[in-house]
Amino acid sequence: MRPLTEEETRLFFEKLAKYIGENIKVLIDRPDGPFCFRLHKERVYYVSEEIMKKAGNISRDNLVCLGTCLGKFTKTKKFRLHITALDYMAPYAQAKMWLKPNAEQQFLYGHNVMKSGLGRISENTVKYSGVVVYSMNDIPLGFGTAAKSTTECRHTDPGTIVCFHQADIGEYIRSEDTLT
């Protein structure tokens, strides 16, 4: 476990900023005690400083995880967000998509979102920006990348993809043993 280097922090924030933009500041500067980002086994954890200090006593080999895993660095040093980060992304999301009830299952099985399944979309969603996907009754289901901007969405056929799937809460069951 160690703090992120400047380069790692940049990569991580750049990815996170696609979803929550300036709101990263809220995660860094929290009123309820200090929180920090820590790298452990190539994964980035968001953890309160108090827990981090306690975890500092545990040797690297024995430490499985701490706090909340936000994502991991791939071997080519790109950052991938994990579904576990959804709890921190959903409240601050800038672009959102709401799915119709019959499209929810498709998304939760790891498929992209079609225009036909799109219930609502937040205004001025930019193409290829990160979006958080909700069900119609405002339960966050996952996140992805907008394949079309809001205006483009209006004019497309129902069969076109409007959101590329990245992560969904179905992963808690599908890849239960790899999520940490």
80 and 74 Cβ atoms separated by less than 8 Å = yes
Based on CB atoms, which residue is closest to another protein, 25 or 120? 25
Give the DSSP letter of residue 158.
T
Residue 19 within binding range of another protein, rule CB under 8 A: no
Which residues between 44 and 83 bind another protein (CB under 8 A)?
49, 52-53, 56
From 19, 37, 46, 88, residue interacting with another protein (rule: CB under 8 A): 37
From 126, 139, 158, 172, residue interacting with another protein (rule: CB under 8 A): 126
Give the DSSP letter of residue 89.
H
- CA-CA-CA-CA torsion for 7, 12, 17, 20, nearest 10 degrees? -150
By the criterion CB under 8 A, which residues form the site for another protein? Answer: 1-3, 5-6, 9-10, 13-14, 17, 21-22, 24-25, 28-29, 34, 36-38, 49, 52-53, 56, 124, 126-128, 149-152, 155
